[in-house]
Amino acid sequence: MKEFHGIIPPAITPLTAGRTLDVAGLERLVEHMISGGVHGIFVLGTTGEGPVLSGQVRRDMIRETVRIVRGRIPVLAGISSASWQDTAELAEYAKSCNVSAAVAAPPCYFKLGEPELEDFYRTLAAEIAMPLFIYNMPDMTKTTISPELVIKLADIPNICGYKDSTGNMIAFHKILLALKDRQDFSLFVGPEELLGESVLYGADGGVSGGANLLPEVFVAMYDAARKGDIAAMQKLQKVIYTNRKLYSIGHHQSSLIKGVKSALRQKGICQDYLAAPFNHFEEPESRIVGDILREVDALTGQK
């Protein structure tokens, strides 16, 4: 079994009304996910609002997550930024907190060419001298990392894995065919509706936002896919698709995070405050969230 495998949820960042870290909420969230069987936790990703949080909250989230986890599972820290210096400095802080690996998307704002992308990852891997995941998230960065470049970057010391959030399974299959048997390199898919088929074809797991809420469902999908249990996968896929209705309640890209945070608030795990300038759902949207949660509970046998 590879060091990094299974379900590694991109944890939401619990916040107070004053937009500081809600440590008590984070403790409940971490314990909820660990009790559901997850294999790691990824902080400060897209679902974690990483790039829009203050530097202080980002450092607090890394430090407190490592403290709460207490070495039970790996902790991965997102270090993505538009600034090279900020990326490198946050990586050094994460390293000082003993995270298991850093995760970096390409710098946002300016679109990078492929030579610049390669130089970015080569330089970053050498600079931070710790395990590093490539994070392909073109919806947010405007830059797509090609399969050919991923395969090339996999030979760089310290680069230990790849998270694909493109939703392009043709491109992901190219990478799977080339790298799935590399024991020193892990392949993860982001879009959770693609988790089952990705693992079935050799991926090492998923970075699934829905596992903040339903860790046991996503762990069960991972296990079923590894066993090739198609009947179980089909049942679990229905739950996953029902749960993902949470992501499209609002009209903006932030609705994904609002839906997950609203659901976690209704489950009594943490509050639903978002980083400024974003606001949580109001009562009409919250009622829809509640309806979806009841629909999911009916499918999973929860009350």
Contact 268, 240 (CB under 8 A): no
Tokens 């790691």 correspond to: 40
Query: Where is 189: in which H helix or E strand?
Result: strand 186-189
Name which of 202, 195, 201 is nearest 233 in CA terms: 195
Catalytic residue among 47, 95, 163, 247: 163
Q: Is 10 helix (H, G, I), strand (E, B) or coil?
A: strand
Burial of residue 33 (number of CB atoms within 10 Å: 0-12, 13-18, 19+): buried
Catalytic residue among 13, 46, 87, 166: 46
Catalytic residue among 95, 121, 135, 261: 135
93 as an active site residue: the answer is no
163 as an active site residue: the answer is yes
CA–centroid distance for 242 within its chain: 19
Distance CA 196, CA 230 (A): 9
CA separation, residue 173 to residues 143, 167, 202 (Å)? 19, 11, 9
Tokens 């903040």 correspond to: 212
Distance CA 277, CA 145 (A): 29
Cis ω on the peptide bond leading into residue 277 (within 30° of 0)?
Answer: yes
Six-digit token string for 6: 């299974």
273 as an active site residue: the answer is no
User: Where in the sequence numbering do the catalytic residues fall?
Assistant: 46, 109, 135, 163
